[in-house]
Structure 1
Amino acid sequence: MDHASAFSRDNRGSQVGYNAGNIHNHYPDPGNPAEDTCAELLYLTDPEVDREDIRIEKGDRTAGTCEWILEDSDYIAWLASDSGSLWLSGSPGKGKTVLSVFVTEKLEETHDQNTCVVLYFFCRYNDEKQNTAVAVLRGLLFQLLRKRPFLGKYASPPLRKSQAQHTLSSLGILWKIFADMINDPGIDHVICVIDGLDECDFDSRKQLSKLFFSDKKSAWTNKFKLFGLSRPLQVLYFEPKRHIRMDTEKIMESRADVKKFIEFSIQNLSLIRDFGQIETEVRIQLLRKAKETFLWVGLLMQELEKKSTCLDILDALEESPTGLTALYFRFLSQIDGRRGGSCSRILRWISEIHRPLTLAELADALGYTSSRGLSATAILHSHLDACGSLIQIKPAKRENIFFRTPMLHVSLKDYLRNIESNNPSVDQFRIDERPSHLEISQRCLAYLSTSMLKTNWTCFNLDHIKSQSPFLFYAAIFWITHALKTPGAGLELYDPLSPFLSADSPLRLNWFLSYFLEVDKIAFIRHYGARRTEGPIIHKAIQHGLRETFNYLTRSDADFQYQNDLGITALHLAIESGDQAITDVILSRGGAFDRSAATWNSTLCNAAFAGRIWGVKFLFENGIDVNKMSVEGWFPLTVAVMGNHLQTIRFLLNKTTDISQADKYGRTALMAAAITGNETVIKMLIQQGSLIDMVDILKNTALHYAALERHEKGMEILHRHHADTSLKNLFKKTATDHQSTLDDVDHVESRHRHVPNRTNTTVIYLRTGIMSSANFGPVYSEVLAWARLQATLTQHRFVVLHQSEGGLQHKRVGCCQYSYTQPLLRLTKIAHETESAEITCIKFSPSEDSLGFYMYLAPSGIRRKIAAP
């Protein structure tokens, strides 16, 4: 997963504060992203770059190898067919990945790129961007959109800002987008290659197998065919039409390729005196012991290239065992005893981390510091060298001057996890998954406890942060992911003396803010998130789903009655998270359920927004009124619609007496449905009698919001039920008028693509600013001036704004309901001329949401200086 999903339990109790804020201030939100920017939103990794990295990592393909696949009868039949699946399986080290690179290159060479789209993806077990079903689909969609940009029309609606986060993590939605794209009349034929499906997690492997290889699919598969490569899988969730088995059917072909690889590799030994006299014997011994395994040859050649005489080479060959398992045992046995502990730890970390680390990150994580005239990275190099041929450092194409820790071959990882305890010489290298994740999570927490987060929150992506604290980014994002993989480790993780885990910890608050800054939830942090982090660790255990920590705290007489400044207790969090077991424990231990407390309606809204149907039903059955507005000004039905959870919506729809009830800001459930674009919910609400032409405090109707979000089908439904198209909002705009505004958004975003150093976060602020200006009016030309001139974050200066066509409108931003009137130009001047200064002249109202417009003007260095109210 990506790191966001690890916090799903934490988010569910709080996100209504963020998303509901978007309902209130929806007019700054852009509609659908421009079709040609959808690829940027989907981007996790670029398969084309990954393919180039594989070439760097594994070296160039030996001439003549892999070519047997072009003459294989199953491959030829698959290639000649209009559709269908081809599966190739082989044991570890057989050269499947190099073969997949070769196949993708040949497919691109031999097929007309105007009529056939060639897609590919390379799965990697230790990189979260390459080892899940969601990551695979996002990678394929990214590549498909890069090659056929016009298909962005299928991705644009689901990727609008109000639903982008959900879409990017939803396998079902991503699959529908993919299927719709393949089914487009403009697509003639698609060939897809997926390498290493076995390196995905178990659930993803099962999901992808069923999605891609099942014959029970729609008609679009008639122009789609897929080639999958993996190790033999114990359980297949599909019946491939054709199956190439390298371990049985293609032994001769594999053996011939390995022979060519050996002949090429031993050329590196030719400079050794008299090598010609033993060359034939070396070739015979390598071929005999390799067992058709490229990896075995590659590893042993690394050892032979260290020898300086023919006798040394012959001795090494004679001592070398047959097969990868025996070879790994030998390599581990040869590690210097003085370095055994450090090598074991390095292998453990590289095996279990969730993404490759740079050498600087790994050195910092392991606690190496400059010593004896050596830098921390140089010390790490010494320990890596002690691991011998098991680890090789390669330059990382995507990290410029940095070097990346290598990925252990999956066969080595499997061997380390299955070392038998009766091998004392290598027992210290055995990797036990649970203790390893516990070690990493404990190290992450310890690192955070001594980091700069003790005094302030920060942006992890700033260069000086990466330089000063290389491991901070990984520790902050992934500590809980590792913690969740250590079942039963609550007692070991929980340290009441830890500054991170203590009640009302400033360190934890700063970590929380920094984390959400990384995932672009600025409004959530400012408006709601900061206060929600206050409270004892029992609250965090419930929010993060740390069941063992919760159980330990329960045994330690935790205070279930504690209320934070919002009146929230552990019982509130358990119910809104939908956790019946924890709720029962809290109630049995004296947790009070006072139905008269106003906080329960807020909890009901939180549970409704997150789709926690058990929590919603529990509160309803215990007397909490679903028709009562929460203290924040929301109704459960409206936020359930905004959360897009159909089961919860249906339940509340049957319990709500007035489905047209307007919240504090005049928004109705139908308006929320128009924002999300859920056609089923729109129809359901209209059929139940929802008033179509109601207006909110900005005089926007449901039709306005459907237009803003470019929900054409939603607009059609509203039109069929006679929505009034002549109604104008507070800014004298009809629903139709919003189309011109959205065209301007597209224009600015198209300009953005050619601007260096502009981050995705900045684009969000830019889009928010444009939509704000479309309603505010006076600032519109200022926004477009900044975008049109293509100034970078670091180069932009106050004077740029004076160059806009037609000049600037030096007017205040505020309209009737906004309490602040700080001129934009003053903010811009401060933000871009004093990047290290605190911004104190701007007063933000916690109840309003135009901060995004101010924020987009500021570079990241100043953005993080703006304090939450």
Structure 2
Amino acid sequence: MLSIFLTEELERRTQENKSTELLLFFFCTPDEKHSSAVAILRGLVYQLIRQRPNLIDHILSDFESAAKTQETLKSPDALWMVLKKLLQAPELGTVFCVLDGLDECDEDSSSLLAENFYEYFLESSKPSRVQFKLTIVSRNIDRLDVFPQVKLDPDNNEYVNSDIQNFIANSVKRLERIPGFNDYRESIETTLLDRAQGTFLWVGFVITELSSKRTCIQIMETLERIPQGLHAIYSRMLAQIEASRRSVIFDILQWVIVAVRPLTLSELGEAIHLPTTRISKDQAILDYITLCGHILTVHDEHVSLVHQSARDYLLQSEDNSDPMLKEFQINAEHAHATIAEVCLDYIEKSDLRNTPLDIKDASVIQKFPLLTYATMHWPEHASWCSDTDNKNLFRLSRPIFQETSSVRQHWWQSYQKWNYTHYFMEALHDPLLLHMVSYFGIYVLAREMLMTNTLLLTPPGVNRMLGGDIRNTSLSLAAIKGHTDIVQLLLANGADKKDEALKEAADNGHTDIVQLLLGNGAGGKDKALKWAASGGHTDIVQLLLANGADEKDEALKEAAFEGQTAIVQLLLANGAGGKDEALLWAASQGHMATVQLLLANGAGGKDEALKEAAVRGHSPTVQLLMNWN
């Protein structure tokens, strides 16, 4: 509600100042289509271009071919650079942005966006004609706590209590049908307000339970027994479940808690081992969800938790004296292992044994309801597993993990149709298992393969290149995705080709891996410096410079072309030359702040830069160059 209010108010303001202000917004949901970094960045970029079509010139280089367009649209790092270029356009003005529910994203997406926003605002300390005013409505997220915050509950208890009081007064109207209720209304409302602890959801749960009562004495007795706090309410709900139903409900909760996206009733019906009955799986799952009380909710056939607090309750790791919590307490790593195993079993028993499938085709979904989820997400669940309880999951005798595996080949082709991986791997028909687990970050399986020599380690063994491409070693693929533990494991088992891996880690902004590779003798620092500068990774540029990277001129040019003003300044401070060429490149892209910085540091070639900016239609840059003395 707060985000809707903000966007409505800002929309009214920006409509009055269309020429100088615009509004962007994105509301995340538990649905993976609306909660990934790619989805958020695409949405913001689209809104910017739709409202300011003239900005398209700033990003044409990112969409110069069909292959480049596909690569850009599916890469969160590339999309971030596109958004950053647009936000640096001097003609943009003021941009208001409301981002709701960043905590609903997967961990990688929320971390990537938080890190990028952190770096962007720290680097954007100089005055500029472009003002990006971002509001994030979310639970606490690391790296963003250095910025101004409003904590709604603690900071606004007076207002929250007033709203809850109004909510209670309106909600108890449902009880007016009970004879004599009005004599107790004030007492009931006072009790609800005193025990709500600032939580609307608690009030909603209690009112729902009270609504099933028929007399005032039942209402007062129930109200006396209901505990304070959401966690206590959840425990009470679970305690009311019949003992014979609890194992099935535990399995359902486990899937819902750690699933990558909300599951449908049909998917859950396939995933959960249900007792044999005469009713359909969908109806059986729906019945079990009803038995959960109000912990789960169903919307458009998709099952989700009623509130984040339910997830927090069920995932509590500390010792708890609540016996009901102990019975339903979920260990995330064990849950991921369970789900990964179910997914792999499902894949291996499906028609993927014989042929690739269009996993989103209606006929395939009807025959194998869980196959879409299993195909797309088993690697993520496997990557979150620890060493415990994984002997069966990661046994190398599994059909999908064998050296020659038709089911793995068919799975890979089906997966690729709907999920972009890495553009080097995209054209590969059947990549090797170690390359795949390195790319997906499945540490336990990678370690098992290396420990048991299950690579058929004929030369070049751990250093095999997919398609003969040096960029496609297991080490490079792990470096691309930022899997530090996999990189460390591969290095310990003789992986070389470190230079290429260093470049990939630098390009993708993985500082820990850059440091690890440098510590293991990786060369190619100059190439890595260029890619880090181009990508705007300040920490990595500093690290490479400190470790002897010397081709600062080329890095300066790349940073200037991408408008990485902070890195241009860093390179200049470290003695980079080639300022004239860098000026030309910055002017060609209309990066005014970078152009101004280079001019202030003595860059020549102003006439050539002016000509390039004019040809490309960067009027503000042309004006800056013409007026510069």
**Normalised by the size of structure 1, how large is the TM-score?**
0.53
Whole-Å Cα distance in 2 between the matches of residues 153 and 431 of structure 1?
51
1:415 maps onto 2:318 in alignment: no
Are the counterparts in 1 of residues 95 and 130 from structure 2 also a CA contact under 8 Å? no
* Residue equivalent to 1:447: 346
* Residue equivalent to 2:46: 142
Are the counterparts in 2 of residues 364 and 471 from structure 1 also a CA contact under 8 Å? yes
* Residue equivalent to 2:10: 107
Q: 1:382: how far off?
A: 0.7
Whole-Å Cα distance in 2 between the matches of residues 248 and 216 of structure 1?
31
Q: 1:516: how far off?
A: 1.4
Are the counterparts in 1 of residues 434 and 474 from structure 2 also a CA contact under 8 Å? no
1:505 maps onto 2:405 in alignment: yes
Amino acid in the other structure paired with 2:42: R
* Residue equivalent to 2:597: none
Q: 1:338: how far off?
A: 2.0
Are the counterparts in 2 of residues 214 and 239 from structure 1 also a CA contact under 8 Å? no
Counterparts in 2 of 1:313 and 1:214: CA distance versus 1, 3 Å = farther
* Residue equivalent to 2:568: none
Q: Deviations over 1:255-299 (max 9, x none)?
A: 111111112222233334443333333222211211221111122
Counterparts in 2 of 1:581 and 1:296: CA distance versus 1, 3 Å = closer
Whole-Å Cα distance in 1 between the matches of residues 414 and 116 of structure 2?
34
* Residue equivalent to 1:424: 323
Amino acid in the other structure paired with 2:27: F
Q: 1:569: how far off?
A: 3.2
Any gaps of 5 or more consecutive residues in structure 2?
Answer: 465-472, 480-485, 508-512, 551-556, 565-576, 578-587, 592-604, 610-614, 616-629
SS for the counterpart of 1:321 is coil
Q: 1:465: how far off?
A: 1.8
Amino acid in the other structure paired with 1:516: Q
Deviates further, 569-578 or 254-263: 569-578
Whole-Å Cα distance in 1 between the matches of residues 502 and 113 of structure 2?
32
Any gaps of 5 or more consecutive residues in structure 1?
Answer: 1-97, 396-402, 594-602, 627-636, 656-672, 681-687, 689-710, 722-735, 737-869
Amino acid in the other structure paired with 1:517: K
Q: 1:344: how far off?
A: 1.7
Counterparts in 2 of 1:541 and 1:181: CA distance versus 1, 3 Å = closer
Given candidates 493, 502, 515, the residue that maps to 2:393 is 493
Are the counterparts in 2 of residues 209 and 237 from structure 1 also a CA contact under 8 Å? no
* Residue equivalent to 2:573: none
Higher helix share: 2
Whole-Å Cα distance in 2 between the matches of residues 604 and 190 of structure 1?
42
1:549 maps onto 2:473 in alignment: no
Amino acid in the other structure paired with 2:449: L
Are the counterparts in 1 of residues 270 and 369 from structure 2 also a CA contact under 8 Å? yes
Q: Deviations over 1:63-120 (max 9, x none)?
A: xxxxxxxxxxxxxxxxxxxxxxxxxxxxxxxxxxx22223323333455263542333
Q: 1:556: how far off?
A: 3.2
Given candidates 285, 301, 304, the residue that maps to 1:406 is 304
SS for the counterpart of 2:261 is coil
Whole-Å Cα distance in 2 between the matches of residues 133 and 169 of structure 1?
10
Whole-Å Cα distance in 1 between the matches of residues 423 and 140 of structure 2?
48
Whole-Å Cα distance in 1 between the matches of residues 310 and 135 of structure 2?
26
Counterparts in 2 of 1:320 and 1:109: CA distance versus 1, 3 Å = farther
* Residue equivalent to 2:261: 355
Q: 1:515: how far off?
A: 1.2
Amino acid in the other structure paired with 2:336: H
Q: 1:510: how far off?
A: 0.3
Q: 1:360: how far off?
A: 1.9
Q: 1:506: how far off?
A: 0.4
* Residue equivalent to 1:276: 182
Given candidates 462, 467, 476, the residue that maps to 1:570 is 462
Are the counterparts in 1 of residues 386 and 444 from structure 2 also a CA contact under 8 Å? yes
* Residue equivalent to 2:118: 210
How is 1:31-110 mapped onto 2 (pairs within 5 angstroms)?
A: 98-109=1-12
Whole-Å Cα distance in 1 between the matches of residues 437 and 422 of structure 2?
24
Are the counterparts in 1 of residues 196 and 203 from structure 2 also a CA contact under 8 Å? yes
Given candidates 83, 89, 97, the residue that maps to 1:178 is 83
How is 1:182-197 mapped onto 2 (pairs within 5 angstroms)?
A: 182-184=87-89, 187-197=92-102
Whole-Å Cα distance in 1 between the matches of residues 325 and 501 of structure 2?
51
Q: Deviations over 1:294-335 (max 9, x none)?
A: 111122222223333333322221111122222222222222
Amino acid in the other structure paired with 2:415: Y
1:227 maps onto 2:125 in alignment: no
Q: 1:606: how far off?
A: 7.8
Q: Deviations over 1:41-80 (max 9, x none)?
A: xxxxxxxxxxxxxxxxxxxxxxxxxxxxxxxxxxxxxxxx
Are the counterparts in 2 of residues 457 and 514 from structure 1 also a CA contact under 8 Å? yes
Counterparts in 2 of 1:571 and 1:174: CA distance versus 1, 3 Å = closer
SS for the counterpart of 2:402 is coil
Are the counterparts in 2 of residues 133 and 207 from structure 1 also a CA contact under 8 Å? no
Whole-Å Cα distance in 2 between the matches of residues 570 and 236 of structure 1?
39
Given candidates 58, 63, 77, the residue that maps to 1:154 is 58
* Residue equivalent to 1:732: none
Q: 1:513: how far off?
A: 1.0
* Residue equivalent to 1:838: none
Are the counterparts in 1 of residues 90 and 129 from structure 2 also a CA contact under 8 Å? no
SS for the counterpart of 1:456 is coil
Are the counterparts in 2 of residues 516 and 525 from structure 1 also a CA contact under 8 Å? no
Q: 1:215: how far off?
A: 8.3
Q: Deviations over 1:404-462 (max 9, x none)?
A: 11244222211211163432223121121111111111111111111110110022222
Amino acid in the other structure paired with 2:10: L
What percent of counterpart residues are identical?
26
Counterparts in 2 of 1:574 and 1:256: CA distance versus 1, 3 Å = closer
* Residue equivalent to 2:572: none
Q: 1:386: how far off?
A: 0.8
Whole-Å Cα distance in 2 between the matches of residues 523 and 214 of structure 1?
32
Counterparts in 2 of 1:276 and 1:229: CA distance versus 1, 3 Å = same
Q: 1:560: how far off?
A: 4.1
Amino acid in the other structure paired with 1:181: L
SS for the counterpart of 2:400 is coil
Are the counterparts in 1 of residues 249 and 289 from structure 2 also a CA contact under 8 Å? yes
Are the counterparts in 2 of residues 571 and 583 from structure 1 also a CA contact under 8 Å? no
Q: 1:475: how far off?
A: 0.9
Amino acid in the other structure paired with 1:238: V
Q: Deviations over 1:340-383 (max 9, x none)?
A: 112222222111111122222222222559x5432211111011
Counterparts in 2 of 1:525 and 1:140: CA distance versus 1, 3 Å = closer
Structure with larger RCO (C-alpha < 8 A, sep 6+): 1
Aligned residues: 541
Are the counterparts in 2 of residues 198 and 205 from structure 1 also a CA contact under 8 Å? no
1:366 maps onto 2:258 in alignment: no
Are the counterparts in 1 of residues 31 and 261 from structure 2 also a CA contact under 8 Å? yes
* Residue equivalent to 1:254: 160
Amino acid in the other structure paired with 2:255: W
Amino acid in the other structure paired with 1:325: H
SS for the counterpart of 2:241 is coil
How is 1:635-650 mapped onto 2 (pairs within 5 angstroms)?
A: none
Amino acid in the other structure paired with 2:268: L
Q: Deviations over 1:651-688 (max 9, x none)?
A: 9xx99xxxxxxxxxxxxxxxxx99xx9899xxxxxxx9
Are the counterparts in 2 of residues 213 and 238 from structure 1 also a CA contact under 8 Å? no
Whole-Å Cα distance in 2 between the matches of residues 274 and 110 of structure 1?
50
Whole-Å Cα distance in 2 between the matches of residues 210 and 645 of structure 1?
15
Counterparts in 2 of 1:180 and 1:553: CA distance versus 1, 3 Å = closer
**Normalised by the size of structure 2, how large is the TM-score?**
0.71
Q: 1:478: how far off?
A: 1.0
How is 1:607-686 mapped onto 2 (pairs within 5 angstroms)?
A: 610=504
Counterparts in 2 of 1:571 and 1:177: CA distance versus 1, 3 Å = closer
Q: Deviations over 1:695-724 (max 9, x none)?
A: xxxxxxxxxxxxxxxx9799xx9x979xxx
Whole-Å Cα distance in 2 between the matches of residues 538 and 112 of structure 1?
54
Whole-Å Cα distance in 1 between the matches of residues 227 and 384 of structure 2?
36
Whole-Å Cα distance in 1 between the matches of residues 499 and 143 of structure 2?
43
* Residue equivalent to 1:94: none
